[in-house]
Each structure stands twice: as C-alpha cells, then as structure tokens.
Structure 1
Amino acid sequence: MARMRAPERREQLLEVAAGLFAERGYHGTTTAELAAAAGVTEPILYRHFESKRVLFETLIEAVGAEVIAAWQQRLDGIDDPATRLRTLLDGNPATHDRGRRIYRVIFQAMSEREEKGVVRAIRRHLVRLHRFLAGELEGLQSAGVVRDDETAAALAWLLIDVAIGYGMVTPLRGTAAMSSHGKGRMQRVLAQMLTV
C-alpha cells in the first residue's frame, strides 16, 4: 500500500478526528484513539499536529470553512431574491445530516471554554459565519424580501442562535423532529421571522 502524501494524510486525520470528536467529545478522545482510527502511530499524528488541542482547533477552522463554502455553493447562480432566501434557509447546515455531523464538532467545542485556543477558533468561525449571513441578508433587505426594521447583522445573529439551538436540541427530540417535515416547519418559521 502506498504511503499517503502529507496533505492527504492531514485531511484523513481531520476526517477521522471529526467523527471521534463529534461522537466522544474533546476530552473523551485520546490521541492514541485518533491515531489508531486513522491507521497511524501517535508520532505520525504529532508530525501533522503538535497537540490534540491544535488538531481540534484546526478541525474547527476546517469545519467552519466547509459549512460556509457549502452554503455559498448552493446560492451560486440564484438571482431571484425569494428563491435565494429559501435556499439560504434550506442550506442551514444544522438541518442536514452532513451538516449536523460537522456541527456536532462545533457544539462539542463550545463546552471547552477552559481551552482558550478552542474558544478563539469558535469565535473566528462565528464571526466568519455572521459576516457571510449578514451579507446575504443585507442583499435580501435591499431587494425588499427581508424585513428591514432590524439590521442584517442582528438578523444574522438570530439565525446563528436559532441554528445552534436547533442543532443541539433537535437530535434529542428524536427522528420525527429531524424529518423533512420537522425541517420544513423550522424553515417556514424562520421565513416568517425574516420576511416583510
């Protein structure tokens, strides 16, 4: 079997870490478990990431970038403001299987408040996510589709807060809440909150 090149190995380690951290949390996952799950030794793991904390912070950055890129890709080429708003709400990563898995990493990270680097990584992600959403909402306000009695920045924070709550609580409510019907209800409520 051919050895992986460094960038491929790094991506593989991040993918394995995403699964383990989402399932077990930061403190519940050891570097030995991460290395074993990736099929490497701990020294190989440390060759790519100087510590578990650095791996976790890097994962938060990667996960955050993936979420925003996926959302932007869904919106590319959509010019109609009403369709763009529906797509923006439908693209909420907390309402999709892959997005929920990704966001479990973020949710786990939120409990690591004593880890200052982790907190900074989460803040950077939230700022980037907020900037993206506020920009989208501002454009939709200009098009007359989204209410303008609140700033786009305030509405973006509202969407983030709702998405985090939805992503954390909905899996605890069971499969009916996570069904397409439950997801559709959530999107309709958000649309009512945002539209003129």
Structure 2
Amino acid sequence: MRKRLSKDERRQQLLDLSLVILERDGADALTLATLAQEAGVTKPVAYGHFQSRANLLYQLYARFDRRLVEVTRQRIADRARSLQERAHHVVAAYFDCVRQCGPQYEAIVSALMAYPEHKDIRTQIRNSFVHVYRELFSDCDADGRLGYRLVAIFGAIEEVAKATMEEQVPDDQAVATLERLIVSTLRDA
C-alpha cells in the first residue's frame, strides 16, 4: 500500500511532473487537467494546489528563481570575499542555472507573458535579481547609483547567457568577460 503524500509533497510532485510535461510536450500542453491526469489525481487536487494554469506557471518560474538565488548566496557565503570572487560566483551560478534549465525557464516566462497579470514578468525578474545583487554588492555603492549599475549588469548577464545558449559565445569566454565587466563597473563606482 502506497503512503499518502502530504500536501507539500503532493505540491512538489506536481511541480516536478509539470517540468516533465513542459520538457516533453511544450508549454502549450501544460494544463492543470493534463497535470492531474498524468499525476493520477483528480482535477480538483491540481486546482486546489495551483488554482489556474497561470499560477502553476508562476510557481514554476518562482521555484527556478528561488533555487538560483539560494545557490548564488550559498556560493558567495561559502567562498567569496573579494569583489572578483563575488562576481565570479554570481556569473557562474547564473550560467549553471541556464545550462540546467534555460529552455524550460524561457518557455515558462514566455507562457506567463500571455496572461495580463504577468505581462511585466521580465521586469519583475530584473527587479528581483537587482535586489539580490544589491545585497551581494552593497559595499560598492559609494555614489548611491548602485541600482543603475546592477540593472546594466543583470541585462548583460541575461543577454550573454542567451548568446551562450544559442552557442554564439563559448561559456568560458562569456564568464570571464562578464566577471571583468562586473568588477570594472562596480570598482569604478
């Protein structure tokens, strides 16, 4: 006899299965009805956890971002003291995430943008990362303009990561270039 899953375990199972469906069939195929059927649960169970497809997609997006932020903070807390080390770990963690889940993440964000309540999701993502980077680089705010610099840094990281996913730029060159960009941008502050 199988043990009944707790509410949190069921939610995690459904999120994990959502990623399988997304990867296998694409974002358009990911619905709460499909998720319920694949999980072997009733539709009310899936709706009880996520209420709507938009909320399911948002929860998937948030899960990816939380993991990346946790990994980045942990890497910096454990290993990075200098500006150069912090820049390295910020970029390396972002690139690790892109390698692991970039296409899924982009599919989720693109699908979310179709919902009016999430049309500004890319702005939310940028602002979220700028907030985290502000914590990590708070000692570099001599002139009170750290926020502007971090917006530029996030934009550079995001665009160069896309270019590496498209194999336009080798990972090692991209990481080294971004590290230098971050250090020079923040050191000159």
* TM-score grouping bracket, smaller chain normalisation: 0.7 to 0.9
Letter in 1 for 2:91: L
- Deviation string, structure 1 residues 79-102 (Cα, Å, up to 9, x no partner): 23332222222222xx22x54444
Number of residue pairs aligned between Structure 1 and Structure 2: 181
- Inter-CA distance 193–81: structure 2 relative to 1 (3 Å threshold): closer
Q: What TM-score, normalized by structure 1, do the two folds share?
A: 0.74
> For 2:172, which of 175, 179, 184 is the aligned residue?
184
Change (3 A) 1:127 1:165: same
Aligned to 1:131: 131
Q: What percentage of aligned pairs have identical amino acids? A: 17
Shift of residue 23, structure 1, vs aligned partner: 5.3
Counterpart of 1:184 in structure 2: which amino acid? Answer: D
Which residue does the alignment assign to 1:145?
none
Structure 1 vs Structure 2 CA RMSD: 2.9
From the superposition, tell whether residues 102 and 88 of structure 1 become closer, same or farther in structure 2 (CA, over 3 Å): same
Aligned equivalents of 1:104 and 1:126: distance in 2?
Answer: 18
Deviates more, 1:118-127 or 1:184-193: 118-127
Partner of residue 157 from structure 1, selected from 145, 151, 167: 151
1:73 CA drift (Å): 0.9
Q: How far apart, CA to CA, are the structure 1 residues paired with 2:158 and 2:103?
A: 10
Aligned equivalent of 2:118: 118
TM-score scaled by length of structure 2: 0.77
Listed as ranges, the gaps of 5+ residues in structure 1 are 143-147
Cα distance, 1:192–1:79 mapped onto 2, change above 3 Å: closer
- Structure 2 gaps of 5+ residues are 185-189
Q: Tell me the equivalent position of 1:107.
A: 106
The superposition leaves residues 50-95 of structure 1 with CA deviations (integer Å, 9 ceiling, x where unpaired) of: 1211111122222222211111111114323332222222222xx2
Distance in structure 1 (CA, Å) of the matches to 2:173 and 2:138 = 24
- 1:37 CA displacement: 3.6
User: Which sits farther off after the overlay, 41-50 or 183-192?
Assistant: 41-50
Shifted more, 42-51 versus 64-73: the winner is: 42-51
Alpha-carbon distance change, 110 to 41 in structure 1, aligned in 2, over 3 angstroms: same
Output the CA distance in 2 between the equivalents of 1:101 and 1:41: 31
Structure 2 residue matching 1:156: 3-state secondary structure:
helix
The answer for the alignment partner of 1:47 in structure 2 is 48
